């Protein structure tokens, strides 16, 4: 008997910023498992472990076909012993026992619920769990003091945990554009984050604001915020990161608005390309760009600038393409940065 077989073997770069990762994923059973373990590690403040699972998940996302056998993974980077064990379990049994037991665990469920509150991170959630608080009901009756963000987060829990749609993102984009037009003519708004990468939903909407004349953007943020406030759009704001916005147009009898998280960043035009690149993500793609810059090019990349440590100077850029070129990387468009 003679069988003719074709088996796909993969060759993939170890840096996510050298790969083209679109939103379609031929191995979602595997990436879901690895992503859940990454999330669980992050929720337990095990950052190293979290990154390892994220990198393994991202590698599997980048594969062009479905993996059916462990032998196809031989020689691939980013797959540690633990990740390989999880993958093997899923390939052989359809599910990973570690993932299943994590999902069922009281601690994981509680961490998910509690960190789902805007303003609550893994450390706070852990402290509450140690005090016997596992859900919102118990939190409400616990007498815990909540800060302003957390109070607001608890109040709008359901709204803020409902994914934001592209249509909602577009509607908010029009509001933000109107706000910047009203306070400083010529200002520009760019959509960044997941929606720029082509995602259809997100946990928030990210915008970058600039003005073509350097310096004009100074003081712009408080003006934009004041305008949004005056129009009744603002529900809660935090100056460093993370604000959320609603279109508040309430009638006496029923709520016809919902709370949505919006991230606004103002950047001077000289830093705009770096800010666009830095805020478009994905988070892992950004991490990998910085790792590539540091380890392979002796450069430091941030969402403000690129510094060449060898030449001891900043490298100017007006487009993302130029930054990729400085880094010696092939240009990857936003839709292929979904690592
Ligand atoms: N970002 C980053 N590191 C962080 C936070 C943000 O590099 N610690 C960058 C990359 C992100 C982008 O900012 O992609 C936007 O942050 P979000 O958390 O909003 O991420 P996304 O927009 O990608 O995801 P979502 O669709 O869930 O909003
Ligand atoms: Mg986002």
DSSP-derived secondary structure for 108-168: HHHHHHHHTSTT--HHHHHHHHHTT--SHHHHHTTT----HHHHHHHHTHHHHHSPEEHHH
Does the CB atom of residue 288 touch ligand 1 within 6 A?
no
* Residue in 185, 192, 255, 184 with CA at minimum distance from that of residue 226: 184
pLDDT, residue 240, reads 58
Q: Ligand 1 centre from 77 Cα, in Å?
A: 25
Average pLDDT over residues 180-201: 98
pLDDT above 70 for 279: yes
Distance of CA 93 to the CA centre of its chain: 31
Q: Name the residue of 194, 198, 291, 335 whose CB sits within 8 Å of the most ligand 1 atoms, as the mutation to test its pocket.
A: 194
Residues 6+ apart with CB under 8 A from 116: 157, 160, 161
Does the CB atom of residue 119 touch ligand 1 within 6 A?
no
pLDDT digits (tens, 9 = 90+) for 135-160: 999 999 999 999 999 999 999 999 99
Q: What is the Cα–Cα distance from 191 to 88, expressed in whole angstroms?
A: 39
Q: What is the Cα–Cα distance from 66 to 28, expressed in whole angstroms?
A: 9
pLDDT above 60 for 75: yes
pLDDT above 60 for 249: no
Average pLDDT over residues 101-113: 98
Model confidence at 207, pLDDT cuts 50, 70, 90, reads very high
- Count of CB atoms situated within 10 Å of the CB of 279: 20
pLDDT above 80 for 258: yes
Residues 6+ apart with CB under 8 A from 41: 47, 49, 50, 53
Q: Ligand 1 centre from 284 Cα, in Å?
A: 9
b/e burial code for range 299-310 (CB count within 10 A of at least 16 → b): bebebebbbeee
pLDDT digits (tens, 9 = 90+) for 41-53: 999 999 999 999 9
Does the CB atom of residue 206 touch ligand 1 within 6 A?
yes
Q: Are 87 and 70 in contact (CB under 8 A)?
A: yes
pLDDT, residue 8, reads 67
Known binding residues for Mg(2+) are 204, 206, 263
pLDDT, residue 201, reads 98
Q: Name the residue of 206, 242, 261 whose CB sits within 8 Å of the most ligand 1 atoms, as the mutation to test its pocket.
A: 206
Q: Are 39 and 67 in contact (CB under 8 A)?
A: no
Does the CB atom of residue 286 touch ligand 1 within 6 A?
yes
Q: What is the Cα–Cα distance from 224 to 324, expressed in whole angstroms?
A: 32
Where do the H-state alpha helices sit in the chain? 28-43, 47-61, 81-93, 97-104, 106-115, 122-130, 136-140, 148-155, 157-161, 166-183, 193-196, 220-230, 272-280, 283-297, 320-326
Q: Domains, the chain, ranges and CATH?
A: 16-102 (1.10.150.110), 105-155 (1.10.150.20), 172-192+201-266 (3.30.460.10), 273-336 (3.30.210.10)
Average pLDDT over residues 27-35: 98
Average pLDDT over residues 273-297: 98
ipTM attached to this prediction:
0.96
Residue 249 annotated as catalytic: no
pLDDT above 60 for 251: no
Q: Ligand 2 centre from 207 Cα, in Å?
A: 9
Nearest-CA residue for ligand 1 atom 2 is 283
Does the CB atom of residue 194 touch ligand 1 within 6 A?
yes
Residue 181 annotated as catalytic: no
Q: Ligand 1 centre from 142 Cα, in Å?
A: 32
Nearest-CA residue for ligand 1 atom 8 is 283
Residue 158 annotated as catalytic: no
Average pLDDT over residues 302-324: 98
Model confidence at 206, pLDDT cuts 50, 70, 90, reads very high
């Amino acid at each position: 008997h003679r069988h003719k077989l074709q088996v796909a073997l993969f060759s993939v770069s170890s840096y996510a910023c050298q790969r083209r990762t679109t939103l379609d994923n031929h191995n979602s059973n595997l990436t879901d498992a690895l992503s859940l373990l990454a999330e669980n590690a992050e929720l337990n403040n095990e950052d190293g472990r979290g990154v390892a699972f994220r990198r393994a998940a991202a590698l599997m996302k980048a594969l062009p076909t479905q993996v059916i056998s462990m032998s196809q993974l031989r020689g691939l980077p980013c797959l540690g012993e633990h990740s390989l064990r999880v993958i093997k379990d899923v390939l052989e049994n359809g599910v990973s026992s570690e993932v299943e037991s994590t999902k069922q665990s009281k601690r994981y469920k509680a961490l998910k619920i509690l960190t789902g509150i805007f303003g609550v991170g893994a450390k706070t959630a852990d402290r509450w769990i140690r005090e016997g608080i596992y859900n919102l009901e118990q939190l409400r009756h616990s007498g815990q003091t909540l800060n302003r963000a957390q109070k607001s987060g608890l109040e709008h829990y359901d709204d803020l945990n409902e994914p934001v749609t592209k249509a909602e993102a577009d509607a908010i984009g029009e509001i933000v554009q109107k706000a910047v037009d009203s306070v400083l003519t010529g200002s520009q708004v760019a959509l960044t984050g997941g929606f720029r990468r082509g995602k259809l939903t997100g946990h928030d909407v990210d915008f970058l604001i600039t003005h073509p004349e350097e310096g004009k953007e100074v003081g712009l943020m408080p003006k934009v915020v004041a305008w949004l406030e005056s129009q009744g759009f603002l529900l809660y704001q935090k100056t460093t990161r993370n604000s959320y916005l609603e279109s508040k147009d309430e009638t006496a009898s029923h709520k016809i608005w919902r709370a949505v998280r919006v991230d606004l960043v103002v950047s001077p035009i000289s830093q705009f390309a770096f800010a666009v690149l830095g805020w478009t993500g994905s988070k892992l793609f950004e991490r990998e760009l910085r790792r590539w810059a540091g380890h392979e090019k002796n450069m430091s990349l941030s969402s403000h600038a690129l510094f060449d440590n060898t030449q001891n100077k900043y490298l100017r850029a007006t487009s993302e393409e130029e930054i990729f070129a400085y880094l010696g990387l092939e240009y990857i468009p936003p839709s292929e940065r979904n690592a």
